[in-house]
Chains A and B, each alone.
Chain A
Amino acid sequence: MSYVNCGNFKTSYEKDAELFQTKLSRFLIYAFITALFAVPFFLGDYLLYVMNLIFIAVIGAVGLNILTGFTGLISLGQGAFMGVGAYAAGYLSVTYGLPFFLAIPAAGLITAVFGAFFGIPSLRLKGLYLSIATLAAQFIIEFGFIRLEFITGGVTGLSIDYASFLGYEIDSDFSFYFLALVLCIIMTLAGVNMMRTRAGRAFLSIRDNYIAAEAMGINLFRYKLTSFAISSFYAGVAGSLWAYYTSIITPENFTIGVSIQYLSMIIIGGLGSILGSIFGAVFIVILPEVLQSFSDWAGGYYPNLTQIIGSIKEGVFGLVIILFLMFEPEGMVRRWRLIKAYWKLWPFSY
């Protein structure tokens, strides 16, 4: 049995930056991932669908958290960037017949270029002004989705073939689960590791005090754009996954509402924490599904409920954001840390 000291006794930077602090946590992570690979054999189609949505959301939320949580640059354009990824993947696979394992990274790169371009204002603008600039980016890109019909198919959308791998078509919730899960693990792991590199530390220092960061030799121009590019890469991958999942790409899936959803994920989960992004994504994806099943159940008693359930979902969504901000501003990840700290010392909590 491995144990943890109830204090910080690390003597080297390598020890402090270790991915797994104890053997137990390494074992638990491996066990969790193995379990994730095993569960689809026991789940129904609906639960698989929810899980797939969660994986896509996790990728997008981790990306946004790198930008907003770690670098401190607020973006209201994540939805549009996901759309760029989706259309890029769609265009590449329809026009050039690229297989999905090339189209998804390519879409990510294209989105990264887009993101870096729309990140240029971040060099002059901060905080509020930047968030408003990204809001404009969101609307302009959305407009592009509708108007650039020769690429995007306009309002009718762009339909693409399902991904296929070695002649096996990934067209069901079940088979897509594995694609999404593998990508989600890769992207999350990359995110965790990125924060242990020079770039990751540079992001944190820009967030905490950009003047001090610059004085210490961090190139703000380079690292802010890098952060935008990385975050958009994540959005692009999430968007292209979405494209392969639904096989039809329409502009209304990438509106300002989606951007707000992603922001709420990282707020509810915890800013500046990869684990927080995962919690937040799970929470925000599951919330409307829970409300929907509640309404399906209660609809028998109150027939009016089914008509207004859309509004109720939106209201509850807003209420959850407000309550979290008022009572748990550091997000779910703080609760998680408290629980962990409790068990670390259990049963001798003093």
Chain B
Amino acid sequence: MEFFVQLIITGTVIGSIYALLALGFTLIYKATDVVNFAQGELLMVGAYICLHLTVSYSVPFWASFLITLVFSFTMGFFIEKVFLRRMIGEPIISIIMLTIGLSSVMKAIVQIFWGTDTRTYPQVFSQEPFLIAGLSISRVYIYSIAAVAVFLILFSIFFKKSKVGVAMRAVASDQQAALSMGIDVKRIFALSWGIAAVVSAVGGIFLGNINGINTTLSHFGLKVFPVVILGGLDSIVGAIVGGLIIGILENLAGGYIDPLIGGGAKEIFPYVVMIAVLMIKPYGLFGTKAVEKV
């Protein structure tokens, strides 16, 4: 039982990071119709920048966290402006390949600057675990779940209340109508990339605090697909729910199936789930069904 609960907790932590990544992915997909294969690299770059500031320039953690968010926003903003802007209206394979190209460029840049060794964050959160109902839970887990929750709440307020947030939702639901209402669609496109980079960077920083970082962090970007397919590609609620479900399922598979077959189930299980979802309910739990007209 205790083993089960531990798996659920780890799953929730990882799942909340998936949820952040998927949130970024969904934002970009909703607003700009771009499928982002470089989401994991956005996460990785964020994690490395924060680590570099904290370790090499001894910036306090909270400050480097904020600087990283600003940096990530700018990076996402300009990626859209420079690369994706030209691709509007191109076939889907070109857009997929462009983001794949971006991902290998970003990975290469990170490797050239920081090498491929695993690096660990300095002790930011105290080592002493929380004791909740007889279970010891590592402090960083609690903090990352809390931070993710705070970010998700902040974003839902942002989308409901702020002018820019409402404009983004308008663009997502109908580009033409938004354009005719005087919304600067181009700016919204760039903004959604910026925000997507920010949420990914938050995920990356917490992930780095849990496991340390190396360039395999970018594999997280591919895990985002099962999440968004399960949740529905264009649903923000779906991204969050899907992230948690996939995170927990993955850990349960790792805990119970891995010992039987000798490892690897954890990596593969999300994709098996995804295939099943694609066959049964291709638009996911909360996605809108695409209607095709001749």
Spell out A's residues near B (CB within 8 Å).
68, 74, 121, 124-125, 127-129, 131-133, 135-137, 139-140, 143, 146-147, 211-212, 256, 260, 263-264, 267, 271, 308, 310-322, 325-326, 329
Contact = CB atoms under 8 A, between A and B. Distances in A.
B166 interface: no
19 contacts: A74-B92, A121-B279, A128-B35, A128-B233, A132-B229, A135-B225, A135-B271, A139-B222, A139-B267, A139-B271, A211-B294, A264-B100, A308-B112, A311-B107, A311-B112, A318-B102, A318-B104, A321-B104, A325-B98
Contacts of B275: 121, 133, 136-137, 140
A47 to B, nearest CB: 27
Q: How large is the interface on B (under 10, 10 to 19, 20 to 34, 35 or more residues)?
A: 35 or more
Interface in B52-91: 83, 86-87, 90
Contacts of B94: 267, 325, 329
Contact of A315 (B105, B225, B268): B105
Interface string B260-273: 01101001100110
Nearest to A271: B93
Chain B interface mostly helix, strand, loop or mixed? helix
Nearest to B83: A322
Interface of B: 35, 83, 86-87, 90, 92-94, 96-98, 100-109, 111-112, 222, 225-226, 229, 233, 261-262, 264, 267-268, 271-272, 274-275, 278-279, 282, 292, 294
Contacts of B107: 311, 314-315, 318
Given A315-B105, A322-B98, A326-B86, A127 B92 contact: yes
Given A139-B267, A263-B93, 19 more contacts: A68-B93, A121-B275, A124-B278, A129-B282, A131-B35, A135-B271, A136-B274, A140-B268, A140-B271, A143-B264, A264-B97, A264-B100, A312-B108, A314-B107, A314-B111, A315-B105, A318-B102, A322-B101, A325-B90
Contacts of A121: 275, 278-279
Given A143-B267, A267-B94, A308-B111, A318 B278 contact: no
Contact of B268 (A124, A139, A264, A317): A139
Contacts of B90: 325, 329
B105 A124 contact: no
Nearest to B101: A321
Contacts of A260: 100, 104
A135 B93 contact: no
Contacts of B226: 136
Contacts of B112: 308, 311-312, 315
Given A124-B282, A308-B111, A136 B100 contact: no
Nearest to A76: B96
A78 B145 CA distance: 38
B265 to A, nearest CB: 9
Contact of B97 (A143, A316, A325): A325
Contacts of B101: 264, 317-322, 325
Nearest to B29: A128
Find the residue from B92, B104, B294 having the highest chain A CB count within 10 A.
Answer: B104
A212 B102 CA distance: 35
A115 to B, nearest CB: 15
A82 to B, nearest CB: 18
